[in-house]
Amino acid sequence: MRTGLAFGGIAAVLTFALALWAAPALAADKPLHIVALGDSLTAGLGLPLSEGFVPRLQAALAGKGPAAEVINAGVSGDTASDALARLDWSVPEGTDAVILEVGANDMLRGIKPQVTRAAIDTILQRLKERHIAVLLCGMRAAPNLGTDYAAAFESIYPELAAKYGIPLYPFFLDGVAADLGRLQRDGLHPNAAGVEVIVAAILPKVEQLMALVRDRRSS
C-alpha cells in the first residue's frame, strides 16, 4: 500500500514538472496578436481591402515562426493625438505587440513637433505600462516646411525609440515617397506596388518585434 502511494506521489510530481516544462513552450507557440495603429498609410486608403499594408503584411508573415494575427487599427486622417485618444479601445487586452505609424498628418498640417512628440511619448509610455512590445515607424517632413521644422519633427522618432529601448523603422515610406510609380494619384499614398515595397522593407523589423514577444513569453 505504501509502495502504491509512493508511486502515485512520484507520478504526480513528474506530471507537474512536465507541465511546468511544457508551459513556456506552449506560451511561446501561441499566435501573436499584433495591432497596426496608425493613419491612412496603415488603413490602406484608396486600395482594395486585400492590397493594403495590413493584409499584405499578414500574408508576408505566413509561415514565419508562430502564427501572427495583424489587426488593422489605422484611421485615415488621424494625428498622433487622435491615435492617443483612441488608444485603449484600438489596442485591446490580449495584444502582444503594436506597430505604431503616426505623425504624417501632424506634419502635413504643420502641427508643432512638440505636440506630436508629447502624444507619441504618451502612447509609448502607456503601452510600456501594459507590457506591449512596440515597433515605432518614423516619418519625414516635407521640404517646404523648412529645415528647422524638419529637424524637430524627424528627431522625434529616433529619440523616443532610444528612450523606450524599442525597435525603430526610420521611414515608413522608404523607397516609395516621391516615386510616382509606387504612389497613387494624390502623390501621398502608396499604390499596391508601393505597399509591397513597404512590406518587404519593414518585414525584418516586424520579425524582430515578434522575436521580442517570443522572448518575453519564454522567460
Nearest CA to 155 among 138, 143, 169?
Answer: 138
Give the active site residue among 33, 39, 40, 81. Answer: 40
40 is catalytic: yes
Q: By the 8 A CB rule, do 64 and 204 touch?
A: no
Alpha-carbon span 28 to 213, nearest angstrom: 8
186 is catalytic: yes
Give the active site residue among 33, 90, 96, 189. Answer: 189
How would you class 7 by CB atoms within 10 Å of its CB: exposed for 0-12, middle for 13-18, buried for 19 or more? Answer: exposed
Alpha-carbon span 160 to 37, nearest angstrom: 17
Alpha-carbon span 80 to 89, nearest angstrom: 15
Residues 6+ apart with CB under 8 A from 156: 103, 113, 116, 117, 120, 138
Q: By the 8 A CB rule, do 138 and 158 touch?
A: yes
189 is catalytic: yes
User: Which residues on adjacent β-strands are paired with residue 32?
Assistant: 68
| Catalytically active residues, by annotation | 40, 186, 189
